Amino acid sequence: MASVANQFSATQAAREIAAGRLTSETLVRACLARIAERESTVQAWAFLDPELAIEQARACDRGPRRGVLHGVPVGVKDVIDTADMPTAYNSAVYAGHRPRADAACIAAARRAGAVILGKTETTEFANNHPARTRNPHNLSHTPGGSSSGSAAAVADQMVPFAFGTQTGGSTIRPAAFCGVVGYKPTFNTINRAGLKIVAESLDTIGTHARTVEDAALLACATSGRPMPDFARNKAKPRVGLYRTPHWDKTDEPTRNLLANVADKLRVAGWTVVDADLPPQAVAIYDANSTIMQFEEAFSLGYEYDNHRELLSEDLRSRIERGRGTSRDLYERAIDVVLEVGAMFIDAFRTVDVLLTPSAPGEAPFGLTSTGNSLFNKNWTTLGLPCVTVPAGIGQKALPLGVQFVGPYRGDSTVLLAADAAWKTISR
């Protein structure tokens, strides 16, 4: 069992540990063995202390059982503070930085019994400047970002699940590129205390996992949100196929994939209809850029003013654009969010979830870009829950995902829909 324990889903591992058929130490050692085998090429981890991980696992095995995550290892994106590990935000400004306290989600994960395996790579301050991580399916391609290491580590079976964050598309897009499940909950579902904020109106802590149930397990265990009943999930929700105003930016395999998924769901008895919104909904994309730039210029003001030379040129430019954005323009962007949000409230009166692309296509070649967040940042700006599931393969033999979006606070609905749809289209 030791040699394959790293391949267990988090839910399976938790069940095996609770039944006494698996120890946390065995599971953690299997994950560490996989990391030792693959980390030199995938480069998913910003910090790893094997002895500290094993010490946590042994403490779990000694008992008592603490919660639903007992003994299961989790990866943590390195923009989330950990008291016993460095948190450097992939910036020379914070090299060796040791927070004095865990972030709220890490404290909650520990209370639920999780083993904090290590810190996963992130782009610089969860922005656009890439991390060193590579896509485990093809090392010449990006894993996406900014939660690069979390998605790659889960995809490469180094850890069963991991925390990511999303300001534009930083949880959903890397999950789609790496062929795993990504869950961005409703805004502020997982408490953000101890997260290095980029944009306080947008930043959302999410999860990467190899099953929808696992993604939900980590989020629910650390937020207090009730766990959906996946075992009894028989629902066939009404689905709105929403191509978005930027459908022309998708590649042909992605367009075909969405059509095929919709057809398979219809054959299985689901109601799938085209979902259209007023043309004014396109304004949400510019609103995201304005809000992010304005808020980021304040959140990274200290770093820019005192350590400008240690920031990437790209980040310096973004902060400068933000400082050139007026408060009036920012507040008008907030008004746009409220107006477009009302349109989507109306859209969800006739459908339960939306089906939409996770990304324009498969992971792009090269490591100088993390890809385009065009099919994610609208949902992030509106605060809506999203789940991406692996659904196909692109022309370059890399994963393609499809994204399900739910109404505000409709997390259980979208999780159950994504899980049922994934199982339906995988038959």
pLDDT tens digits along 144-160: 999 999 999 999 999 99
As a whole number of angstroms, the distance between CA 320 and CA 335 comes to: 23
Dihedrals phi, psi of 205, to nearest 5 degrees: -80, 130
Average pLDDT over residues 190-216: 98
Predicted local confidence at residue 235, as pLDDT: 78
Q: How confident is the model at residue 268 (pLDDT cuts 50, 70, 90)?
A: very high
Predicted local confidence at residue 3, as pLDDT: 67
| Catalytic annotation present for 147 | no
pLDDT digits (tens, 9 = 90+) for 322-367: 999 999 999 999 999 999 999 999 999 999 999 999 999 999 999 9
| CA proximity to 182, closest of 202, 137, 212 | 212
Q: How confident is the model at residue 71 (pLDDT cuts 50, 70, 90)?
A: very high
173 pLDDT above the threshold of 90: yes
Task: Give the number of domains in the chain.
Answer: 1
Average pLDDT over residues 258-263: 98
Report residue 350 as tokens. Answer: 């006739």
Predicted local confidence at residue 234, as pLDDT: 82
Give yes or no for a contact between 192 and 223, defined as CB atoms under 8 angstroms apart: no
| CA proximity to 250, closest of 426, 371, 146 | 371
328 in any annotated domain: no
Predicted local confidence at residue 339, as pLDDT: 97
As a whole number of angstroms, the distance between CA 127 and CA 148 comes to: 11
Q: Is 241 helix (H, G, I), strand (E, B) or coil?
A: strand
> What is the separation of C-alpha 264 from the centre of its chain, rounded to a whole number of angstroms?
26
Average pLDDT over all residues of the chain: 97
420 in any annotated domain: no
Report residue 142 as tokens. Answer: 């990006």
372 in any annotated domain: no
Average pLDDT over residues 83-107: 98
| Catalytic annotation present for 358 | no
Predicted local confidence at residue 1, as pLDDT: 54
**Hunting for tokens 């069992």 — which residue is that?**
1
377 in any annotated domain: no
2 pLDDT above the threshold of 70: no
324 in any annotated domain: no
Q: Is 11 helix (H, G, I), strand (E, B) or coil?
A: helix
Predicted local confidence at residue 276, as pLDDT: 87
User: Using alpha carbons only, what angle is made at residue 161 by residues 149 and 182, rounded to the nearest 5 degrees?
Assistant: 75
Average pLDDT over residues 266-279: 94
List the strands of the sheet with 272-274, edge to edge: 45-48, 115-120, 73-77, 161-166, 204-209, 181-184, 386-393, 399-405, 353-357, 239-241, 272-274
The span from the first CA to the last CA of the chain, in angstroms, equals 28
| Position 292, amino acid | M
| Catalytic annotation present for 170 | yes
Give yes or no for a contact between 59 and 103, defined as CB atoms under 8 angstroms apart: no
Q: Is 195 helix (H, G, I), strand (E, B) or coil?
A: strand
- Domain holding 29, by residue range, is 5-221
What CATH number does the domain containing 170 carry? 3.90.1300.10
Task: Give counts: helices (H), strands (E), the chain.
Answer: 14, 11
Predicted local confidence at residue 342, as pLDDT: 95
109 in any annotated domain: yes
286 in any annotated domain: no
| CA proximity to 288, closest of 369, 382, 172 | 382
- 24, 148, 150, 170: the active-site residue: 170
Predicted local confidence at residue 233, as pLDDT: 87
Task: Give percent above pLDDT 70 in the chain.
Answer: 99
| CA proximity to 156, closest of 37, 252, 72 | 37
Average pLDDT over residues 203-221: 98
Higher pLDDT, 236 or 260: 260
Question: 12 CB contacts (<8 Å, ≥6 apart)?
Answer: none
- 91, 146, 148, 312: the active-site residue: 146
- 24, 77, 201, 377: the active-site residue: 77
How is 396-413 classified by DSSP, letter by letter? TS-EEEEEEE--TT-HHH
49 in any annotated domain: yes
